[in-house]
Structure 1
Amino acid sequence: MGKWSRADATGMARVLLALYLAALAFVAFWPTPVDRPVAGRLQTVLFALHHSGLPELINYSFVEFASNILLFAPIGILAALAFPTFHRGRIVLAGLLASCCMELGQKLFLHDRFPSAMDIVANTAGAMLGVWVLGVVEQWFRETQPAPPPKPARPPKIG
């Protein structure tokens, strides 16, 4: 199996991004909060962890906020790979706009869902985190690549 071309990698990233966005839309527009089935168990686990020394700062709201960040991080990575000519700031802006659309859709169409400005902040932070992580990985690869071999010297022109 040969090396992937830039076009192959970009195409694969676009397919993965589309699949991820479809799955995210499924979660975002589920009629009831997706954490409802596990909310009680998570509260119980957090309560036990607090009694074992976990700081009270790590509560249900914290877990929900962190989950939203982690949910959007792959979007930042995949979008940057799928559209390599886009400025990375545009990708973060697209994450913000996608999050705003999701929250607006929940407000307008899903009576059991609760739109939240904090979700928009967390989702945007997640897209930004994904872009940043990709940048760090790309920089690491650039720094660890062996230097290209020197070009052979041209013989002097005579005449």
Structure 2
Amino acid sequence: MAAVTQFAQAGARREIAVAYGAAVVLVAWWPSRVDRPYGEGLHQALSVLHAAGIAGWLDYAATERLANVVLFLPVGWLVAAFLGTRRGWAETILAGTAAGVALSLVLEFVQSALLTDRVGSIADVLANACGAAVGAALVAVSDARARGRSAMPSGAAGARGGSSRRR
């Protein structure tokens, strides 16, 4: 059995999921932007990088989007680890992504409707969905490698008469 699937069966999974979920809700529903105390420092750090000719593409908005992607990696990872990949890699990634989108829509709706200093954003939902998809894909690839087969369908799998999908 793959290492990721073994983790999904371990007793610690609920505690990890609850702790992570609480952290996401705390960050998303904090009354003001959580980066407010660090905003000036982040701008200064980016200025230093840009002055050194490093990461000129990385501005404050890109940093915020990247943070959203990273924040939702565990959503996809946890959902995929809980469900396993026996139904196939595509279903695993789709389930992790769908969970990320659903959670993100709820969080962004509450930000828009109830938090006066926060603004819900479809761009955040898309970044969060990307993070969840990558997290779920990491599980699918890890599980496939542990089983000794390709994570993605290929012509070679069909030529051997095999399939990358388990029934």
TM bin, normalised by shorter chain, reads 0.7 to 0.9
Conserved 8 A contact 2:74-2:132: yes
Unmatched runs of 5 consecutive residues or more in structure 2: 150-167
2:156 maps to what in 1?
A: none
Matched, 1:138 2:143: yes
- Gap change, CA 1:135 and 1:126, over 3 Å in 2: same
- Alpha-carbon separation, structure 1, partners of 2:26 and 2:78: 18
- Alpha-carbon separation, structure 2, partners of 1:8 and 1:130: 14
Conserved 8 A contact 1:103-1:115: yes
1:157 maps to what in 2?
A: none
Unmatched runs of 5 consecutive residues or more in structure 1: 145-159
Conserved 8 A contact 2:8-2:81: no
1:41 maps to what in 2?
A: 41
Identity %, equivalent residues: 31
Structure 1 length normalisation: TM-score?
A: 0.79
Query: Aligned with 1:56: secondary structure?
Result: coil
Shift of 1:56: 2.6
Query: Aligned with 1:136: secondary structure?
Result: helix
Conserved 8 A contact 1:10-1:82: no
Q: How does 1:68-87 map to 2 (within 5 A)?
A: 68-84=68-84, 87=91
Q: Deviations over 1:70-113 (max 9, x none)?
A: 00001111111123378321221121011011000001110011
Query: Aligned with 1:44: secondary structure?
Result: helix
Conserved 8 A contact 2:65-2:127: yes
- Gap change, CA 1:96 and 1:34, over 3 Å in 2: same
State how many pairs are aligned. Answer: 140
2:26 maps to what in 1?
A: 26
Which of 84, 101, 120 aligns to 1:115? It is 120
The 4+ residue runs of structure 1 with deviation greater than 4 A are 5-8
Matched, 1:61 2:71: no
1:99 maps to what in 2?
A: 104
- Alpha-carbon separation, structure 1, partners of 2:29 and 2:142: 33
Conserved 8 A contact 1:95-1:127: yes
Q: Deviations over 1:8-31 (max 9, x none)?
A: 725532332222111111111010
* Aligned residue type for 2:18: A
- Alpha-carbon separation, structure 2, partners of 1:7 and 1:124: 23
Query: Aligned with 2:100: secondary structure?
Result: helix
- Gap change, CA 1:7 and 1:56, over 3 Å in 2: closer
Q: Quick check: which has more Rg, 1 or 2?
A: 1
Conserved 8 A contact 1:14-1:82: no
